[in-house]
A and B are shown apart, each in its own frame.
Chain A
Amino acid sequence: MNQVLLACDGLSMRFGGLVALNALSLSVNEGEILGLIGPNGSGKTTFFNVITGIYQASAGRVDYRGQDLARLSAQEIYRAGVTRTFQRSRLCLPLSIFDNLMIGNHRRLNHGLWFNLMRRREFRRQFEQQYVQAQGLVRTFSQSLSERLFEPAASVNMIDRRRIEICRALISQPTLLLLDEPSAGMTHEETRELMDDILIVREHMPGLSIVIIEHEMNVIERITERCIVLNFGQKICEGPYAKIAADPQVQEAYLGTA
């Protein structure tokens, strides 16, 4: 269980004079749910952006199954099995729910010009397979949503959009899922439902590691096995929720040094 999946070492990210990640070192274990917390601007989302190749790290390395993610492009990182959701929903709202899911499944589809244009029979087979798979995945989250796959993503409510985003990140069967504040903009009740969904996913995909950025401490307490607290781009504390919640350094980071 305690096999390390991803380990970053001395990871730094600078934007001009601003240091968003300051020689950060941390690790994610295989199959765990890791909570990433810290005050606004402590570098949590930047960490995700560096891991997924949206930003190029200024220094340091990210070891993941023998590869250094800091040297790979976003596309290569996705193909290596790292997917994410975004803090602000980044669904393609005019497209259907199914289309959005297929964007997430890009690495398992055939994108050849000839296949797509001329081999319509094979294409149809692949399409139908994908439909069955997508519907199955969405059904674990919501039965009613799974019946609306060919409606525009714009036509569903906030919590369903979140679910679609999570499904989009899950459908390619990644090894590491990064959730960036999935509860943002939702009510407590909706958040609870969503977290239940995430726990269900975990049961279905036992090998999956999840890193979750979250501000709702009860969410963190309920679903994470381990937490890492960031401040000013550095790790200041690490351990189970009960431990970090009691840590004076963490309290200081949140309340400020008055």
Chain B
Amino acid sequence: MTLGLLSQYVFNGLMLGMIYAMVAVGFTLFFGVLDVIKFSHGDVLMVGAFTGLATYLGLQALGVDSPLVQLLVMTVVAALAMGLLGALIAKYLVLPLRLAPPLNTLLITLMLGSVLREAVRLFYPQGSNPKPFPRLLPADFVSFGAFTLRADSMILLLAGLAAIVAVHLLITRTKLGLAIRAVAQDAETARIMGINFEFIVLLTFAIGSGMAALGGLMNGLYYNEINFGMGLLLGVIGFSAAVIGGLGNIYGAILGGFLFSALQSIGAVALPALFPGTSTAYKDVFAFAVVIIFMAWRPTGLIAEKKSERV
């Protein structure tokens, strides 16, 4: 394999890893504040991508055709809409089940994911077909031998990085972030200290879901295609990434995201090389198998989850 091809793999891996990390950060945020898994996260991402697409079509119809304006409006609309959706999910599905067995929260969000997926498939015009996603980023590229560096990929990578850094700063440097961390540490005490528990939870869900919308748009811009089923796999991958890294830990989530994409790349490259004749399609089989083995070895991930049970 040439160095150029290798760099191509590495770059694609980074790109995917960034998207995974964005999803994983959402899972970790929700788990951090409320100790719950919101399984509909991947499908929220998908709905975010479709919201972006619908916004684009609306703008086209209105005659707005500057790609920059279109992109900005799409991002804002999708992020806000998904933020709202996330907060609604938290308020009406997750918080009411706080006292029920934790499994019920997982089940209800899993079912909500199905509802979102099916709703898009059935009610979005021709929702069961893949939809072309507009190319809105400059298509310039530079080639180094076999390695092509595309401007759009570069922009996406930087945008993803910026979004993660922004969330990180929000959580570590602002008063709001302090409140989120306080709730994550100990909800009871945070409440006694005058923190509006419900508001913080809703806000966290909104932030995480907004991130998912960005991830959805990035995914669309990168592949130039979206479909109603994309959220399921991305959700499971994001969840795996968050678990590999250690649920509740933002660095862990980012690390997990890149690790998962590295696993897929290794699966795609190494398996056919080691066992001639195997298809690269085994890459997901390989990646998930490694995740399952990893979890048997380190059940709480690389950076261990907080343990809070009192006996």
Contact = CB atoms under 8 A, between A and B. Distances in A.
Interface of A: 45, 49, 54, 86-88
Nearest to B307: A15
Contacts of A54: 311
Nearest to A15: B307
A54 B311 CA distance: 9
B175 interface: no
A88 B311 CA distance: 7
A44 B196 CA distance: 34
Contacts of B311: 45, 49, 54, 86-87
Nearest to A49: B311
Nearest to B310: A88
A49 B311 CA distance: 8
Interface in B252-311: 310-311
Interface in B65-84: none
A87 B309 CA distance: 13
A88 B310 CA distance: 9
Interface of B: 310-311
Contacts of A45: 311
Please report whether the interface of chain A is mostly helix, strand, loop or mixed according to DSSP: loop
B188 to A, nearest CB: 14
B311 to A, nearest CB: 6
A45 B311 CA distance: 8
Nearest to A54: B311
A115 to B, nearest CB: 30
A9 to B, nearest CB: 23
6 contacts: A45-B311, A49-B311, A54-B311, A86-B311, A87-B311, A88-B310
Contacts of A87: 311
Nearest to A84: B311
Nearest to A90: B311
B181 to A, nearest CB: 19
A240 B44 CA distance: 65
Contacts of A86: 311
A163 B310 CA distance: 22
* Top 6 A-B residue pairs of the complex, sorted by shortest distance between their CB atoms: A49-B311, A54-B311, A86-B311, A45-B311, A88-B310, A87-B311
B117 to A, nearest CB: 33
A222 B75 CA distance: 70
A87 B310 CA distance: 10
Contacts of B310: 88
A45 B310 CA distance: 10
A89 to B, nearest CB: 12
A49 B309 CA distance: 13
A201 to B, nearest CB: 24
Contacts of A49: 311
B91 to A, nearest CB: 27
A45 B309 CA distance: 14
A21 B125 CA distance: 66
Contacts of A88: 310
A75 to B, nearest CB: 16
B309 to A, nearest CB: 10
A84 B187 CA distance: 29
A88 B309 CA distance: 12
A49 B310 CA distance: 11
Nearest to A46: B311
Nearest to A180: B311
A31 B311 CA distance: 27
Nearest to A48: B311
A86 B309 CA distance: 13
A207 B310 CA distance: 31
Nearest to A88: B310
Nearest to A55: B311
A53 to B, nearest CB: 11
A16 B311 CA distance: 18
A54 B310 CA distance: 11
B52 to A, nearest CB: 45
A175 B310 CA distance: 26
A120 B203 CA distance: 56
A90 to B, nearest CB: 8
A212 to B, nearest CB: 17
